[in-house]
Amino acid sequence: MNKWFKCIITLAFSFGVVFLFIQSSMAEKPDADFIDVSHHNRQSGLPLAFYQTIKNSGTKSVVVKVSEGTYYVDPAASVNIANAKQAGMVVNAYHYAHYNSHSRAKSEANWFDKKLKLVGFNKTKDGYVVVDIEAMNLSKSPKKLTGYTNTFIKEMKRLGYPKIDIYTGSYFYNHRLDPESLIINKPWLASYPKNPLKNKPTAIFSDGKGAWQWTSDYYFLGMKNYGHFDASEDYAGKYTRQVESSTKRVKKIKTISLVDYMKSQKMNFSYNHRAKLAKAYGIPNYLGKASQNIALLSKLKSGVKPAKVNLNNSKLTTKAITPSNSKTKTTIYKVKSGDTLSEIASRFKTSISKLKSLNHIKNVNLIRINQKIKIAGTNHPQATSKKYYRVKRGDYLGKIAIKYKVSVKKIKSMNGLKSDKISPNQRLRIK
């Protein structure tokens, strides 16, 4: 009896140690203090229930994509902002930069300002506005790019935004920008290690720790149907510890449908009128979905008026088109041994985030040989000119292949050779 009792105690202790070890291991994972979202997560915007659930799980805030360049506004922005506010989260917003001059930087800041108004972002009561600097076509000169970024930030300040930050990759921040010359410190940087640890960022902060985006593959337990998200730890408190947020003044909606509310207010509740109202509030492609209806209802109940942005370049754009309105072609690239998504993005003059989004890649550090990668746009790698070699006495395919760093198989393929036999003075294409 005592032997069995000792056995049970030993097993219980063993399981307890294992449980404590598991708890300890789990505790080392970084926090998802905040996430960033766009139409890539859900075209019509994420529903109120999603934001309520993640807030209860400990995620305090969200950074919503609003605009890009001077030609695009994210179609899910208005819904995401409204529903995140309804859930009581701190709402921040970001703009994807394409500027390559000081005048362009000012134009993009003004575009961002108009779109922030359109989608219901309050410059004094909501969180930070962020400029996302990662496009591969940005200036290669750290001095110039830093100057353009400072111009964008100054213009946003002039427009009345007191809380401004930058987002970029750790390498980009330290090599493509000049951190010491930026007028922003404690930035938000991305770096995705294989084994991220809590409060141990792998991003290199040259001017104070701000926030660390440690993964692009985060999902919430029991909510895998919403897909994966970029998750970040907030060290400076910029994104999660706002003193005043417009969420405090949002009138929380009760269990009432949009149609019932409009009826009670003696409003025209027809589908066409709802679609018209939705567009006025920056909710395009209205389909009567729950996420859209709750967002529209929250705006109506809060007494928020549609933004007055009927200016030349303020039309609601819902498709990521080029400034010239040309149709975007898609190139297919097949992954080769040794390729990384970063190298492919650089080769095709695009960004990792665009490749990730277009190809629904969950882990940017994991791509497979022969995997087909879609690349939007007309940028192609520079074509290599053909090169030929005249066979000399004593040459053989293996020797030529080593000399020109090409495989025997490729030489045979380019020259239509069925065997390894070659002859002096024979002309072979080797590139």
Nearest to 127 by CA among 179, 172, 71, 84: 84
Q: Return d(Cα 71, Cα 322) in angstroms, integer.
A: 7
The domain locations on the chain are 27-248, 330-376, 388-429
Q: Return d(Cα 324, Cα 11) in angstroms, integer.
A: 70
State the residue for tokens 């134009």. Answer: 107
* Residue 62 pLDDT exceeds 80: yes
What confidence category does residue 254 fall into, taking pLDDT thresholds of 50, 70 and 90? low
pLDDT at 373: 85
Q: Return d(Cα 431, Cα 429) in angstroms, integer.
A: 6
Q: Give the CA angle between residues 206, 201, 183 to the nearest 5°.
A: 30
* Max avg pLDDT among 14-23, 136-145, 335-344: 136-145
DSSP state of 200: B
Q: Return d(Cα 421, Cα 258) in angstroms, integer.
A: 78
Q: Return d(Cα 34, Cα 240) in angstroms, integer.
A: 7
The enclosing H or E element of 152 equals: helix 142-158
Taking CA atoms, 232 is separated from 192, 215, 260, 344, 400, in Å, by: 11, 7, 39, 25, 51
Name residue 151's amino acid.
Answer: T
* Mean pLDDT value across residues 325-354: 71
pLDDT at 5: 45
Is 388-429 the same fold as 27-248?
Answer: no
Q: Is 429 helix (H, G, I), strand (E, B) or coil?
A: strand
Taking CA atoms, 29 is separated from 99, 168, 190, 232, in Å, by: 36, 22, 16, 11
pLDDT at 292: 77
pLDDT in tens, 308-323: 544 334 444 444 333 3
Pick the CATH number of 27-248 from 3.40.640.10, 3.30.420.40, 3.40.50.740, 3.20.20.80: 3.20.20.80
Handedness of CA 290, 80, 250, 211 (dihedral sign): positive
CB 91 within 8 A of CB 127: yes
Q: Where are the beta strands (DSSP E) in 270-317?
A: none
| CATH number corresponding to 388-429 | 3.10.350.10
Name residue 228's amino acid.
Answer: H
Name residue 283's amino acid.
Answer: I
pLDDT in tens, 172-231: 999 999 999 999 999 999 999 989 999 999 999 988 999 999 998 898 988 888 888 999
Q: Which two tokens stand for residue 74?
A: 């994210």
Q: Return d(Cα 172, Cα 24) in angstroms, integer.
A: 33
pLDDT in tens, 368-420: 887 888 887 645 444 445 677 888 888 888 888 888 888 888 888 777 787 88
pLDDT at 276: 80
pLDDT at 178: 95
* Residue 240 pLDDT exceeds 80: yes
Nearest to 68 by CA among 101, 94, 42: 94
Least confident of 3-7, 33-37, 148-152: 3-7
The CATH superfamily of 330-376 is LysM domain (3.10.350.10)
